[in-house]
Amino acid sequence: MKGYLGIDVGSVSTDLAVIDQEGEVVAHQYLLTHGQPIQAVQKGLKEIQTSFPKEVEVCGVGTTGSARQLTGILAGADVVKNEITAHAMASMHFYPEVKTVLEIGGQDSKIIIIRDGLVIDFGMNTVCAAGTGSFLDQQALRLNVPIQSFGEYALQSESPVRIAGRCTVFAESDMIHKQQMGCHLNDIIAGLSEALVRNYLNNVAKGKDIKKPILFQGGVAANKGIKQAFERELGTEVHVPKFYAVMGAIGAALLAREKMDGSKTQFKGFGIVDISCHTRNFVCKDCENVCEVIEFVMEDHPVSYWGDRCGKWETQGKKF
């Protein structure tokens, strides 16, 4: 059976998915990056290898996410694409009529506008992490509420309080103020959920033509309180796909399936989980650009460089 592997490496999570030739998901894995993308990918590959049938042969690999270049070189990717393309691909695969994709991850959030099967517009958060998964994790820890239960608390609220959600610092100080006023925990959490959704719609989605069907994906889509807040603000149903947390990886796998078309994969095999590899950076002073160059080393051999503007180092290794 032919299988296609997708790997999505972000700042917070590393997601992997394997699909078959028909596009059905046969295995998926979600784990935390912990600031070590190479080790996270190796661990993810080791775990996912044991979770799909042995008769599945990986015939194509796609990578996406902020560490897609690094991952592409490590795994031997056949296609390397940005997150917008990967998430849109997965969304249209499961919901062909989708027109808007809301995606919120650990450190970033994005909106994708789709019409007639094509991405016509998108937006991403820039400098502020308000509304992302990491901020919600911090507030759950501060409130001593398990992050898995955060959404349930919001759904139990009868009168959400008004929280300033434009900035993480303001949101946190406003929450503390509401606590000191004696507001109920459920109402504070519900108010925070609504504030984060307002922040998303006023910044990431500002000026975008949001039409239904609407998909909500990314790790934060597990939060029922955020989903409910989106539905209230938008006045329509918001759908959460079954594989909401690994849609980027599924999209990368679908892109790999689309590209291969019988050609031989560059996948280096699951043996790479035991390979010693790391990155190191240095400043090149050969010209006035003074570039900080990143060198990727596998088994003590430099295999790729990126970060240079003139192309001197890029040409000495494989770069996606």
The predicted-structure confidence for 198-227, as pLDDT tens digits, reads as follows 888 888 888 999 999 999 999 889 889 999
Q: Please tell me whether residue 167 adopts helix, strand or coil conformation.
A: coil
Q: Do domains 2-89+248-272 and 96-240 have the same CATH topology?
A: yes
284 is written with which tokens? 């090149």
Across the range 241-253, mean pLDDT stands at 96
The pLDDT of residue 125 is 79
* DSSP H helices in the chain: 37-49, 68-75, 83-94, 133-142, 150-155, 168-180, 185-203, 224-234, 247-260
C-alpha 89/C-alpha 77 separation (Å) is 17
The pLDDT of residue 199 is 83
* Percent of the chain whose pLDDT exceeds 70: 94
DSSP state of 23: S
Cβ-contact 101, 278 below 8 angstroms? no
CATH number of 2-89+248-272: 3.30.420.40
Q: Pick the range with the lowest mean pLDDT from 49-63, 155-169, 236-250.
A: 155-169
Residue 127: is its pLDDT beyond 70?
A: no
Q: Pick the range with the lowest mean pLDDT from 143-152, 273-282, 308-317.
A: 308-317
Rounded to the nearest integer, the mean pLDDT of the chain is 87
Q: Which carries the bigger pLDDT value, residue 261 or residue 168?
A: 261
Split at pLDDT 50, 70, 90, the class of 320 is: very low
Amino acid present at 77: A
The pLDDT of residue 308 is 78
CATH number of 96-240: 3.30.420.40
pTM reported for the whole predicted model = 0.86
Matching residue, tokens 């606590």: 179
272: how many CB neighbours lie within 10 A of its CB? Answer: 18
For the chain, the domains span 2-89+248-272, 96-240, 277-316
Residue 254: is its pLDDT beyond 70?
A: yes
Residue 318: is its pLDDT beyond 60?
A: no
Q: Pick the range with the lowest mean pLDDT from 77-91, 121-135, 178-192, 246-260.
A: 121-135
* Percent of the chain whose pLDDT exceeds 90: 44
Split at pLDDT 50, 70, 90, the class of 92 is: very high
Split at pLDDT 50, 70, 90, the class of 196 is: confident
The pLDDT of residue 165 is 60
Residue 234: is its pLDDT beyond 90?
A: yes
Split at pLDDT 50, 70, 90, the class of 167 is: low
Split at pLDDT 50, 70, 90, the class of 319 is: very low
Across the range 180-207, mean pLDDT stands at 86
Split at pLDDT 50, 70, 90, the class of 299 is: confident
Residue 128: is its pLDDT beyond 80?
A: no
217 is written with which tokens? 């994906």
Q: Pick the range with the lowest mean pLDDT from 25-29, 63-67, 140-144.
A: 140-144
DSSP secondary structure, 246-301, as one string: GHHHHHHHHHHHHHHTTPPP----GGGGG--EEEEEEE--SSTT--EEEEEEETTE
